[in-house]
Structure 1
Amino acid sequence: MIKVKKIISGGLEENCYAVYDSESLRAAIIDPGEDGKKVIFEIEKDKLKPELLINTHAHYDHVLSDDQIRFEFKIPLAIHKYEAQMLARDYGSGSGSIGFTVNVREPEILLEDNQKVELSFTTFKVMQTPGHTKGSICLLFDGFLITGDTLFAGTIGRTDFDGGSYEEILNSLFKIKKLNPSLVIYPGHGSSTTLANEIRHNPYLR
Protein backbone atom coordinates (compact mmCIF):
# COMPACT_ATOMS: atom_id res chain seq x y z
CA MET A 1 0.00 0.00 0.00
CA ILE A 2 1.25 3.48 -0.88
CA LYS A 3 1.36 5.89 2.03
CA VAL A 4 2.29 9.56 2.45
CA LYS A 5 4.27 10.85 5.41
CA LYS A 6 4.37 14.63 5.99
CA ILE A 7 7.45 16.21 7.56
CA ILE A 8 7.21 19.93 8.35
CA SER A 9 10.58 21.46 7.47
CA GLY A 10 12.05 24.87 8.25
CA GLY A 11 10.90 28.24 9.50
CA LEU A 12 8.25 28.67 6.80
CA GLU A 13 6.74 25.30 7.79
CA GLU A 14 7.15 23.80 4.35
CA ASN A 15 5.66 20.35 3.82
CA CYS A 16 8.16 17.70 2.85
CA TYR A 17 6.52 14.44 1.81
CA ALA A 18 7.79 10.89 1.80
CA VAL A 19 5.69 8.76 -0.54
CA TYR A 20 6.42 5.13 0.26
CA ASP A 21 5.30 1.53 -0.05
CA SER A 22 4.31 0.11 3.34
CA GLU A 23 5.70 -3.33 2.51
CA SER A 24 8.99 -2.70 0.72
CA LEU A 25 9.54 0.69 2.43
CA ARG A 26 10.88 2.05 -0.87
CA ALA A 27 10.25 5.78 -0.98
CA ALA A 28 10.45 9.05 -2.84
CA ILE A 29 11.14 12.33 -1.03
CA ILE A 30 9.43 15.49 -2.26
CA ASP A 31 10.63 18.99 -1.30
CA PRO A 32 12.89 18.36 1.72
CA GLY A 33 12.89 22.06 2.60
CA GLU A 34 15.36 23.76 4.93
CA ASP A 35 15.67 21.21 7.74
CA GLY A 36 17.59 18.31 6.24
CA LYS A 37 18.50 16.85 9.64
CA LYS A 38 14.83 16.52 10.59
CA VAL A 39 13.92 14.95 7.24
CA ILE A 40 16.77 12.43 7.50
CA PHE A 41 15.77 11.57 11.08
CA GLU A 42 12.14 10.97 10.10
CA ILE A 43 13.09 8.88 7.07
CA GLU A 44 15.51 6.73 9.06
CA LYS A 45 13.10 6.42 12.00
CA ASP A 46 10.60 4.67 9.73
CA LYS A 47 13.37 2.67 8.01
CA LEU A 48 12.36 4.05 4.61
CA LYS A 49 14.58 3.44 1.58
CA PRO A 50 14.53 6.54 -0.65
CA GLU A 51 15.25 6.13 -4.35
CA LEU A 52 14.41 9.58 -5.74
CA LEU A 53 14.29 13.22 -4.57
CA ILE A 54 11.83 15.53 -6.35
CA ASN A 55 11.33 19.29 -6.19
CA THR A 56 7.96 20.78 -7.12
CA HIS A 57 9.75 24.09 -7.70
CA ALA A 58 13.02 25.80 -6.81
CA HIS A 59 12.17 28.28 -4.03
CA TYR A 60 14.63 28.06 -1.15
CA ASP A 61 12.13 26.86 1.45
CA HIS A 62 11.59 23.72 -0.65
CA VAL A 63 15.14 22.97 -1.85
CA LEU A 64 17.70 24.18 0.70
CA SER A 65 18.57 20.69 1.97
CA ASP A 66 18.52 18.99 -1.44
CA ASP A 67 22.24 18.24 -1.52
CA GLN A 68 22.26 17.03 2.09
CA ILE A 69 19.47 14.56 1.28
CA ARG A 70 21.14 13.43 -1.96
CA PHE A 71 24.42 12.80 -0.16
CA GLU A 72 22.83 10.98 2.77
CA PHE A 73 20.73 8.58 0.70
CA LYS A 74 22.78 8.59 -2.53
CA ILE A 75 19.75 9.39 -4.69
CA PRO A 76 19.23 11.62 -7.75
CA LEU A 77 17.30 14.89 -7.83
CA ALA A 78 14.46 15.45 -10.32
CA ILE A 79 12.98 18.86 -11.13
CA HIS A 80 11.20 20.44 -14.09
CA LYS A 81 13.63 21.61 -16.75
CA TYR A 82 12.48 25.24 -16.39
CA GLU A 83 13.37 25.25 -12.69
CA ALA A 84 16.80 23.63 -12.93
CA GLN A 85 18.62 26.87 -13.71
CA MET A 86 17.04 28.53 -10.69
CA LEU A 87 18.52 26.22 -8.08
CA ALA A 88 21.69 28.29 -7.64
CA ARG A 89 20.24 31.77 -8.11
CA ASP A 90 19.10 34.16 -5.42
CA TYR A 91 16.27 35.63 -7.48
CA GLY A 92 14.97 32.23 -8.43
CA SER A 93 15.17 30.60 -5.04
CA GLY A 94 13.58 33.55 -3.28
CA SER A 95 16.60 33.72 -0.96
CA GLY A 96 17.98 37.12 -1.91
CA SER A 97 15.78 38.95 0.54
CA ILE A 98 16.95 36.90 3.51
CA GLY A 99 20.67 37.31 3.09
CA PHE A 100 22.06 33.98 1.91
CA THR A 101 22.66 32.15 -1.35
CA VAL A 102 21.11 28.83 -2.26
CA ASN A 103 23.53 26.73 -4.25
CA VAL A 104 22.12 23.32 -5.09
CA ARG A 105 24.03 21.09 -7.49
CA GLU A 106 22.54 20.48 -10.91
CA PRO A 107 19.74 17.91 -10.94
CA GLU A 108 20.35 14.49 -12.41
CA ILE A 109 16.85 14.28 -13.91
CA LEU A 110 14.94 16.96 -15.84
CA LEU A 111 11.19 16.50 -15.86
CA GLU A 112 8.66 17.54 -18.51
CA ASP A 113 4.91 18.05 -18.61
CA ASN A 114 2.88 14.81 -18.89
CA GLN A 115 5.94 12.68 -18.21
CA LYS A 116 5.30 9.37 -16.44
CA VAL A 117 7.94 8.49 -13.88
CA GLU A 118 8.25 4.87 -12.84
CA LEU A 119 9.62 4.12 -9.40
CA SER A 120 10.23 0.60 -8.13
CA PHE A 121 7.01 0.72 -6.11
CA THR A 122 4.67 3.11 -7.95
CA THR A 123 4.26 5.44 -10.93
CA PHE A 124 3.35 9.12 -11.01
CA LYS A 125 2.60 11.68 -13.70
CA VAL A 126 4.23 15.10 -13.91
CA MET A 127 1.83 18.00 -14.44
CA GLN A 128 3.47 21.30 -15.30
CA THR A 129 1.46 23.93 -13.44
CA PRO A 130 3.11 27.33 -13.94
CA GLY A 131 2.01 30.42 -12.09
CA HIS A 132 3.86 30.32 -8.77
CA THR A 133 7.01 29.77 -10.83
CA LYS A 134 7.49 28.99 -14.51
CA GLY A 135 8.41 25.37 -13.92
CA SER A 136 6.19 24.52 -10.97
CA ILE A 137 4.87 20.99 -11.14
CA CYS A 138 2.24 18.86 -9.44
CA LEU A 139 2.78 15.13 -8.99
CA LEU A 140 -0.23 12.95 -9.76
CA PHE A 141 -0.23 9.60 -7.99
CA ASP A 142 -3.04 7.07 -7.79
CA GLY A 143 -5.48 8.72 -5.39
CA PHE A 144 -3.59 11.88 -4.51
CA LEU A 145 -1.91 14.98 -5.92
CA ILE A 146 1.14 16.75 -4.50
CA THR A 147 0.66 20.38 -5.49
CA GLY A 148 3.71 22.24 -4.18
CA ASP A 149 2.85 25.93 -3.91
CA THR A 150 0.31 25.92 -6.75
CA LEU A 151 -2.75 24.98 -4.70
CA PHE A 152 -3.32 25.16 -0.94
CA ALA A 153 -6.35 24.40 1.20
CA GLY A 154 -8.60 27.40 0.60
CA THR A 155 -6.17 29.45 -1.46
CA ILE A 156 -3.32 29.39 -4.02
CA GLY A 157 0.36 30.20 -4.20
CA ARG A 158 1.76 33.69 -4.63
CA THR A 159 2.36 34.90 -8.18
CA ASP A 160 4.45 38.01 -7.47
CA PHE A 161 7.84 36.26 -7.38
CA ASP A 162 10.17 36.09 -10.37
CA GLY A 163 8.61 33.83 -12.99
CA GLY A 164 5.17 34.02 -11.40
CA SER A 165 1.98 34.80 -13.30
CA TYR A 166 -1.58 35.12 -12.01
CA GLU A 167 -2.98 34.29 -15.45
CA GLU A 168 -0.84 31.16 -15.69
CA ILE A 169 -1.76 29.92 -12.23
CA LEU A 170 -5.46 30.25 -13.08
CA ASN A 171 -4.85 28.15 -16.20
CA SER A 172 -3.02 25.59 -14.05
CA LEU A 173 -5.89 25.48 -11.58
CA PHE A 174 -8.29 24.84 -14.46
CA LYS A 175 -6.12 21.85 -15.38
CA ILE A 176 -6.23 20.55 -11.82
CA LYS A 177 -9.98 21.11 -11.58
CA LYS A 178 -10.55 18.58 -14.37
CA LEU A 179 -8.97 15.77 -12.35
CA ASN A 180 -10.87 13.25 -10.25
CA PRO A 181 -12.51 15.24 -7.41
CA SER A 182 -11.85 12.41 -4.95
CA LEU A 183 -8.10 13.13 -5.08
CA VAL A 184 -6.44 14.01 -1.80
CA ILE A 185 -4.44 17.23 -2.15
CA TYR A 186 -1.08 17.46 -0.38
CA PRO A 187 0.11 21.10 -0.65
CA GLY A 188 3.51 22.65 -0.02
CA HIS A 189 2.29 24.44 3.11
CA GLY A 190 -0.64 23.92 5.46
CA SER A 191 -3.11 21.09 5.81
CA SER A 192 -4.16 18.48 3.29
CA THR A 193 -7.55 18.69 1.61
CA THR A 194 -9.46 17.09 -1.26
CA LEU A 195 -10.03 18.39 -4.75
CA ALA A 196 -13.79 18.13 -4.21
CA ASN A 197 -13.51 20.33 -1.13
CA GLU A 198 -11.43 22.91 -3.00
CA ILE A 199 -13.86 22.99 -5.91
CA ARG A 200 -16.65 23.70 -3.43
CA HIS A 201 -14.91 26.21 -1.17
CA ASN A 202 -11.75 27.60 -2.75
CA PRO A 203 -12.67 30.87 -4.52
CA TYR A 204 -9.93 30.35 -7.12
CA LEU A 205 -11.41 27.04 -8.29
CA ARG A 206 -15.04 28.08 -8.52
Structure 2
Amino acid sequence: MLVLGFPAGPLQANCYLIARGEGEPCVIVDPGQDAADPVREQVRKYSLTPEGVLLTHGHFDHVLSAGPVTAEHGCPAWVHPADRYMLDDPGAALGPAGKELFGDGPAAQVPDDVRDLADGQQLDVAGMRFEVTHSPGHTGGSVLFGAGTDEGGRLLLAGDTLFAGAIGRTDLPGGDHAQMQRSLSALLPLDDETVVLPGHGPTTTIGRERASNPFLQELPAPGAFS
Protein backbone atom coordinates (compact mmCIF):
# COMPACT_ATOMS: atom_id res chain seq x y z
CA MET A 1 0.00 0.00 0.00
CA LEU A 2 1.19 3.50 -0.83
CA VAL A 3 0.69 6.04 1.97
CA LEU A 4 1.82 9.60 1.33
CA GLY A 5 1.48 12.25 4.00
CA PHE A 6 2.44 15.89 4.45
CA PRO A 7 1.55 18.74 6.82
CA ALA A 8 -0.23 21.70 5.26
CA GLY A 9 -1.25 25.21 6.25
CA PRO A 10 -0.34 27.36 9.26
CA LEU A 11 -1.68 24.71 11.67
CA GLN A 12 0.30 21.93 9.95
CA ALA A 13 -2.63 19.54 9.59
CA ASN A 14 -1.66 16.23 8.04
CA CYS A 15 -3.09 15.39 4.62
CA TYR A 16 -2.75 11.83 3.31
CA LEU A 17 -2.98 10.19 -0.10
CA ILE A 18 -3.60 6.45 0.08
CA ALA A 19 -3.53 3.99 -2.80
CA ARG A 20 -2.73 0.34 -3.37
CA GLY A 21 0.36 1.42 -5.29
CA GLU A 22 1.78 3.84 -7.84
CA GLY A 23 -0.39 4.38 -10.89
CA GLU A 24 -3.52 3.35 -8.98
CA PRO A 25 -6.72 5.08 -7.83
CA CYS A 26 -6.33 6.87 -4.51
CA VAL A 27 -8.23 8.60 -1.74
CA ILE A 28 -7.23 11.93 -0.25
CA VAL A 29 -7.75 12.30 3.49
CA ASP A 30 -8.16 15.75 5.06
CA PRO A 31 -6.98 18.15 2.35
CA GLY A 32 -6.90 21.23 4.55
CA GLN A 33 -5.62 24.76 4.22
CA ASP A 34 -3.02 25.17 1.45
CA ALA A 35 -3.15 21.44 0.57
CA ALA A 36 -4.36 21.65 -3.04
CA ASP A 37 -0.95 22.28 -4.65
CA PRO A 38 0.91 19.56 -2.69
CA VAL A 39 -1.90 17.11 -3.49
CA ARG A 40 -1.56 17.92 -7.19
CA GLU A 41 2.20 17.37 -7.00
CA GLN A 42 1.85 13.97 -5.33
CA VAL A 43 -0.85 12.88 -7.78
CA ARG A 44 1.44 13.73 -10.70
CA LYS A 45 4.57 12.24 -9.15
CA TYR A 46 2.95 8.88 -8.42
CA SER A 47 0.49 8.83 -11.37
CA LEU A 48 -2.51 8.53 -9.05
CA THR A 49 -6.20 8.94 -9.87
CA PRO A 50 -8.16 10.51 -6.97
CA GLU A 51 -11.56 8.88 -6.52
CA GLY A 52 -12.66 10.44 -3.26
CA VAL A 53 -11.90 12.79 -0.38
CA LEU A 54 -12.37 11.49 3.16
CA LEU A 55 -12.77 14.03 5.97
CA THR A 56 -12.10 13.00 9.56
CA HIS A 57 -13.91 16.11 10.82
CA GLY A 58 -14.98 19.54 9.70
CA HIS A 59 -12.35 21.95 11.06
CA PHE A 60 -11.01 24.29 8.38
CA ASP A 61 -7.41 23.13 8.74
CA HIS A 62 -8.59 19.69 7.57
CA VAL A 63 -11.21 20.55 4.93
CA LEU A 64 -10.43 23.89 3.32
CA SER A 65 -8.99 22.38 0.11
CA ALA A 66 -11.71 19.73 -0.23
CA GLY A 67 -13.69 21.89 -2.65
CA PRO A 68 -10.80 22.67 -5.04
CA VAL A 69 -9.46 19.10 -4.90
CA THR A 70 -12.82 17.46 -5.63
CA ALA A 71 -13.52 19.97 -8.40
CA GLU A 72 -10.16 19.34 -10.06
CA HIS A 73 -10.52 15.57 -9.98
CA GLY A 74 -14.30 15.18 -10.32
CA CYS A 75 -14.73 13.10 -7.17
CA PRO A 76 -17.00 13.23 -4.10
CA ALA A 77 -16.19 14.11 -0.50
CA TRP A 78 -17.41 12.22 2.54
CA VAL A 79 -18.01 13.82 5.95
CA HIS A 80 -20.12 12.99 8.99
CA PRO A 81 -23.43 14.91 8.89
CA ALA A 82 -22.78 16.47 12.31
CA ASP A 83 -19.80 18.35 10.86
CA ARG A 84 -21.17 19.08 7.41
CA TYR A 85 -22.15 22.64 8.34
CA MET A 86 -18.48 23.54 8.77
CA LEU A 87 -17.88 23.07 5.04
CA ASP A 88 -20.15 26.06 4.42
CA ASP A 89 -19.04 28.12 7.42
CA PRO A 90 -15.46 27.35 8.55
CA GLY A 91 -15.61 30.08 11.16
CA ALA A 92 -18.50 28.37 12.95
CA ALA A 93 -16.16 25.90 14.63
CA LEU A 94 -13.46 28.32 15.73
CA GLY A 95 -15.02 29.59 18.95
CA PRO A 96 -14.57 33.12 20.34
CA ALA A 97 -10.76 32.93 20.59
CA GLY A 98 -10.47 31.55 17.09
CA LYS A 99 -12.80 34.15 15.64
CA GLU A 100 -10.69 36.86 17.22
CA LEU A 101 -7.59 35.36 15.64
CA PHE A 102 -8.98 34.39 12.23
CA GLY A 103 -12.00 36.66 11.87
CA ASP A 104 -14.89 34.75 10.34
CA GLY A 105 -12.50 32.08 9.09
CA PRO A 106 -11.05 31.45 5.64
CA ALA A 107 -13.41 31.47 2.70
CA ALA A 108 -14.57 28.01 1.65
CA GLN A 109 -15.31 26.36 -1.69
CA VAL A 110 -17.79 23.62 -0.84
CA PRO A 111 -17.49 20.35 -2.82
CA ASP A 112 -20.28 19.82 -5.34
CA ASP A 113 -20.83 16.24 -4.22
CA VAL A 114 -20.83 15.79 -0.44
CA ARG A 115 -21.86 12.41 0.98
CA ASP A 116 -22.66 11.45 4.57
CA LEU A 117 -20.64 9.04 6.68
CA ALA A 118 -22.27 6.75 9.24
CA ASP A 119 -20.92 4.82 12.20
CA GLY A 120 -20.07 1.26 11.18
CA GLN A 121 -20.16 2.06 7.47
CA GLN A 122 -17.96 0.03 5.12
CA LEU A 123 -16.82 2.55 2.51
CA ASP A 124 -15.42 1.04 -0.69
CA VAL A 125 -13.47 3.57 -2.74
CA ALA A 126 -10.33 3.47 -4.91
CA GLY A 127 -10.17 -0.32 -4.65
CA MET A 128 -9.91 -0.18 -0.84
CA ARG A 129 -12.32 -0.64 2.05
CA PHE A 130 -12.45 1.88 4.90
CA GLU A 131 -14.30 1.11 8.11
CA VAL A 132 -15.96 4.23 9.53
CA THR A 133 -16.20 4.72 13.29
CA HIS A 134 -17.96 7.76 14.71
CA SER A 135 -15.61 9.22 17.36
CA PRO A 136 -17.16 12.40 18.80
CA GLY A 137 -15.22 14.43 21.31
CA HIS A 138 -13.02 16.78 19.31
CA THR A 139 -16.07 17.66 17.20
CA GLY A 140 -19.53 16.16 17.12
CA GLY A 141 -18.88 14.60 13.72
CA SER A 142 -15.33 13.32 14.13
CA VAL A 143 -14.73 9.89 12.60
CA LEU A 144 -11.95 7.32 12.35
CA PHE A 145 -11.13 5.44 9.16
CA GLY A 146 -9.71 1.96 9.58
CA ALA A 147 -8.21 0.02 6.68
CA GLY A 148 -6.24 -3.13 6.06
CA THR A 149 -3.13 -3.12 3.91
CA ASP A 150 -2.15 -5.57 1.19
CA GLU A 151 0.81 -6.49 3.39
CA GLY A 152 -1.49 -7.61 6.22
CA GLY A 153 -1.17 -4.57 8.50
CA ARG A 154 -3.80 -2.17 9.77
CA LEU A 155 -4.07 1.60 9.42
CA LEU A 156 -6.11 3.99 11.53
CA LEU A 157 -6.68 7.48 10.16
CA ALA A 158 -7.36 9.18 13.47
CA GLY A 159 -7.89 12.83 12.57
CA ASP A 160 -7.75 14.92 15.73
CA THR A 161 -9.02 12.17 18.03
CA LEU A 162 -5.60 10.67 18.82
CA PHE A 163 -2.08 12.04 18.39
CA ALA A 164 1.34 10.70 19.33
CA GLY A 165 1.40 11.37 23.07
CA ALA A 166 -1.70 13.56 23.06
CA ILE A 167 -5.34 13.88 22.00
CA GLY A 168 -7.42 16.52 20.26
CA ARG A 169 -8.75 19.43 22.27
CA THR A 170 -12.34 19.31 23.43
CA ASP A 171 -12.95 22.97 24.32
CA LEU A 172 -14.02 24.21 20.88
CA PRO A 173 -17.67 24.31 19.75
CA GLY A 174 -18.91 20.74 19.33
CA GLY A 175 -16.21 19.34 21.60
CA ASP A 176 -17.11 17.15 24.57
CA HIS A 177 -14.57 15.66 26.98
CA ALA A 178 -16.80 12.80 28.14
CA GLN A 179 -17.50 11.81 24.56
CA MET A 180 -13.79 11.97 23.78
CA GLN A 181 -13.07 9.57 26.63
CA ARG A 182 -15.62 7.12 25.25
CA SER A 183 -14.14 7.40 21.76
CA LEU A 184 -10.61 6.84 23.06
CA SER A 185 -11.70 3.89 25.19
CA ALA A 186 -13.00 2.17 22.04
CA LEU A 187 -9.45 2.27 20.60
CA LEU A 188 -7.84 0.33 23.43
CA PRO A 189 -8.74 -3.17 22.14
CA LEU A 190 -7.08 -2.55 18.75
CA ASP A 191 -3.93 -4.51 17.92
CA ASP A 192 -0.67 -3.02 19.14
CA GLU A 193 0.69 -2.97 15.59
CA THR A 194 -2.14 -0.81 14.24
CA VAL A 195 -0.45 2.20 12.62
CA VAL A 196 -2.06 5.49 13.62
CA LEU A 197 -1.98 8.29 11.05
CA PRO A 198 -2.97 11.35 13.11
CA GLY A 199 -4.30 14.71 12.06
CA HIS A 200 -1.22 16.50 13.42
CA GLY A 201 2.27 15.34 14.27
CA PRO A 202 4.13 12.09 13.66
CA THR A 203 2.82 8.61 12.94
CA THR A 204 2.48 6.27 15.91
CA THR A 205 0.95 2.92 16.84
CA ILE A 206 -1.85 1.86 19.14
CA GLY A 207 0.60 -0.18 21.22
CA ARG A 208 2.88 2.80 21.73
CA GLU A 209 0.00 5.07 22.70
CA ARG A 210 -1.56 2.50 25.02
CA ALA A 211 1.78 2.21 26.82
CA SER A 212 2.80 5.86 27.00
CA ASN A 213 -0.02 8.28 26.16
CA PRO A 214 -1.12 9.82 29.48
CA PHE A 215 -4.60 10.55 28.13
CA LEU A 216 -5.18 6.86 27.43
CA GLN A 217 -3.70 5.74 30.72
CA GLU A 218 -6.01 8.07 32.62
CA LEU A 219 -9.21 6.78 31.01
CA PRO A 220 -11.92 5.63 33.42
CA ALA A 221 -12.52 1.92 33.73
CA PRO A 222 -14.98 0.63 31.08
CA GLY A 223 -17.73 0.21 33.66
CA ALA A 224 -17.50 3.90 34.57
CA PHE A 225 -19.11 4.95 31.28
CA SER A 226 -22.87 5.19 31.56
> Where does structure 2 lack aligned partners over 5 or more consecutive residues?
149-153, 218-226
Measure the CA separation in 1 of the matches of 2:109 and 2:200: 21
1:98 alignment partner in structure 2: 102
> Where does structure 1 lack aligned partners over 5 or more consecutive residues?
none
TM-score by length of 2: 0.86
1:126 alignment partner in structure 2: 132
TM-score by length of 1: 0.94
Q: 8 Å contact 2:68–2:109 — kept in the other structure? A: no
Measure the CA separation in 2 of the matches of 1:120 and 1:29: 10
Q: 1:12 to 1:23 in 2, by over 3 A?
A: closer
Deviation larger for 99-108 or 85-94 = 99-108
The 5 Å alignment of 1:136-147 reads 136-142=142-148, 143-147=154-158
Q: CA deviation at 1:85?
A: 1.7
Deviation larger for 85-94 or 163-172 = 85-94
1:20 alignment partner in structure 2: 19
Residue by residue over 1:114-136, the C-alpha shift from the partner in whole angstroms, topping out at 9 and shown as x without a partner, is: 10001241101001100000000
Residue by residue over 1:42-88, the C-alpha shift from the partner in whole angstroms, topping out at 9 and shown as x without a partner, is: 22221111100011001010111111101111110100111112222
Root-mean-square deviation over aligned CA pairs: 1.5
2:30 alignment partner in structure 1: 31
Identity across matched positions, percent: 35
Residue by residue over 1:96-124, the C-alpha shift from the partner in whole angstroms, topping out at 9 and shown as x without a partner, is: 34123443426521000010001241101
1:200 alignment partner in structure 2: 211
Partner secondary structure for residue 91 of structure 1: helix
Q: 8 Å contact 1:131–1:170 — kept in the other structure? A: yes
Greater C-alpha radius of gyration: 2
Q: 8 Å contact 1:15–1:187 — kept in the other structure? A: yes
Q: 8 Å contact 1:87–1:102 — kept in the other structure? A: no
Measure the CA separation in 1 of the matches of 2:81 and 2:107: 18
How many residue pairs get matched? 205
Q: 8 Å contact 2:67–2:108 — kept in the other structure? A: no
2:88 alignment partner in structure 1: 88
